[in-house]
Amino acid sequence: MLQLEMEDLVDFGPLPPAVNAKLQQGVALYQDEPEHAERLFREALALSPESLPAWFCLIKLHNRFRQFHAAHEAALGALAEASRQCGLDADWGQWQREQFANRDEAPWRHTLRALKAVAFIELRRGNRAPALALVEKLHKLDPEDGVGYSVIDALLEATA
């Protein structure tokens, strides 16, 4: 197994050391050895399925290589885990702005980031209607656009 002798490439926040090590190794490898990076990200998830950064590593990896089905599956996994950690209904359509008010903690931010990821991937898959519904929900949940969904909003407008 590859051993890296360097500082962390990405600050993922507090994670179990073994999970952080796998994610750091995957980040170092993802451009040249995407299959190896994916294996490391999945090993990190196997060690700690509640580690949201591992889900986001998978999303970014698959999205970068235009593997939209796999990216979508990872985004749904991230969304399910983040919403579970927040105690939210599994159906994002039921979520209300009040639930997110004054909640800057990681799982709440990650929940909105995962919702944004699903919207972006739906758009990249050519599924405009679900992407639009997700962005409309993000407008309601995050009117300040803290997670940056306005980029997807602009893409939706440009492709209308």
- What local confidence, expressed as pLDDT, does residue 3 receive? 47
Which option is the CATH number for 17-89+98-158: 3.30.565.10, 1.10.357.10, 1.25.40.10, 3.40.50.2020? 1.25.40.10
* Domain residue limits, the chain: 17-89+98-158
For 50-72, what is each residue's pLDDT tens digit? 999 999 999 999 999 999 999 99
pLDDT at 5 over 60: no
The per-residue pLDDT of the chain, averaged, comes to: 92
pLDDT at 4 over 50: no
For 74-132, what is each residue's pLDDT tens digit? 999 999 999 999 999 999 999 999 998 877 688 899 999 999 999 999 999 999 999 99
For 71-88, what is each residue's pLDDT tens digit? 999 999 999 999 999 999
Task: Dig out the tokens for 25 from the structure.
Answer: 């190794």
Q: Half-sphere exposure (CA, 13 Å, Cβ side) for 73?
A: 7
Distance CA(23)–CA(10), nearest Å, equals: 9
What residue spans of 4-127 are helical by DSSP H? 17-29, 34-47, 52-64, 68-86, 97-100, 106-124
pLDDT at 43 over 70: yes
